[in-house]
Copies of this chain bind each other. A is one copy, B any other.
Amino acid sequence: MQRPSQSTSPGSRKGKPVSRQVLADHVYEELLESLMDGRLEPGATVSIDGTARDLDVSPTPVREALARLEHTGMVRRVALKGYRVAPVFTREDFAELMEARLAIEPVNARLACARLTPERLAQLEQAVTDLKTAPRGPSFAEFRDYLEADERFHRLIAEQTGNQFMVAAYAALGGQVQRFRLFGGVGITDAENAIAEHQAVLDAMATGDPETAAAAMADHVSKVRGRAIADAPEA
């Protein structure tokens, strides 16, 4: 067994026991990254045994990781048939996703605004800065950082609400957004507009006016929806 067998070195006595991981956690993260990066295309089957061979583990941790992933909507499971990557978004799916974001994200912005600390504000500013400086080339590897910064901005706002349930509700949506941008045919042609809208949200939150922040977020999500529909006229 190639178990890491952590802390066999007798020297580091006070080695941080921070959230020790097990194989299933690594498999989960590996699969999640593959899904986010697009290495696993929509509709592709995710074989338990095959994944286990690829990652050089037994099927048991893979099964556990996939059971968790199923709840995120990234993969779907059919009993006795196996797992497969969730199919591509239709335009209706995208409309539903944006409808849900419109219901949740402005509320997040309002709540986050009320309990904003300088430290958290700095994190948001960093995200917007990363958004501006990230390369936006045509290949995926080139705008990977852009998407990551985008998602981070929204996730930070959700976390800053301090409301665990709003975080959970957003998490049920957040992963889907990035996946859609990979496979929905919508690239980042809207980068300039999106950056300006993110900046507007950030400014409103820095000002400290919750209603303005909520309005800015609603405006952003609404415009993202409009641009995506315009960019991807096909099904």
Seen from chain A, the residues whose Cβ lies within 8 Å of a Cβ on chain B are 19-22, 24-25, 60, 63-65, 67-68, 70-73, 79-80, 93, 96-97, 99-100, 103-104, 107, 111, 162-166, 168-169, 171-173, 176
Contacts and interface: CB of A to CB of B under 8 A. Distances in A.
A157 to B, nearest CB: 13
B166 A79 contact: no
B19 A96 contact: no
- Smallest CB-CB A-B distances: 6 pairs: A100-B165, A71-B71, A67-B67, A103-B107, A169-B169, A96-B163
Main secondary structure of the interface of A (DSSP, over half): helix
A6 to B, nearest CB: 10
Given A22-B80, A60-B60, A80-B20, A100 B169 contact: yes
A190 B70 CA distance: 37
Given A20-B80, A63-B64, A67-B67, 11 more contacts: A24-B67, A25-B79, A60-B63, A65-B67, A71-B71, A96-B165, A99-B165, A100-B163, A100-B165, A103-B103, A103-B107
Nearest to A6: B80
A169 to B, nearest CB: 4
A169 B67 CA distance: 19
A172 B164 contact: no
Contacts of A100: 163, 165-166, 169
A72 B72 CA distance: 11
A170 B100 CA distance: 11
Contacts of A20: 79-80
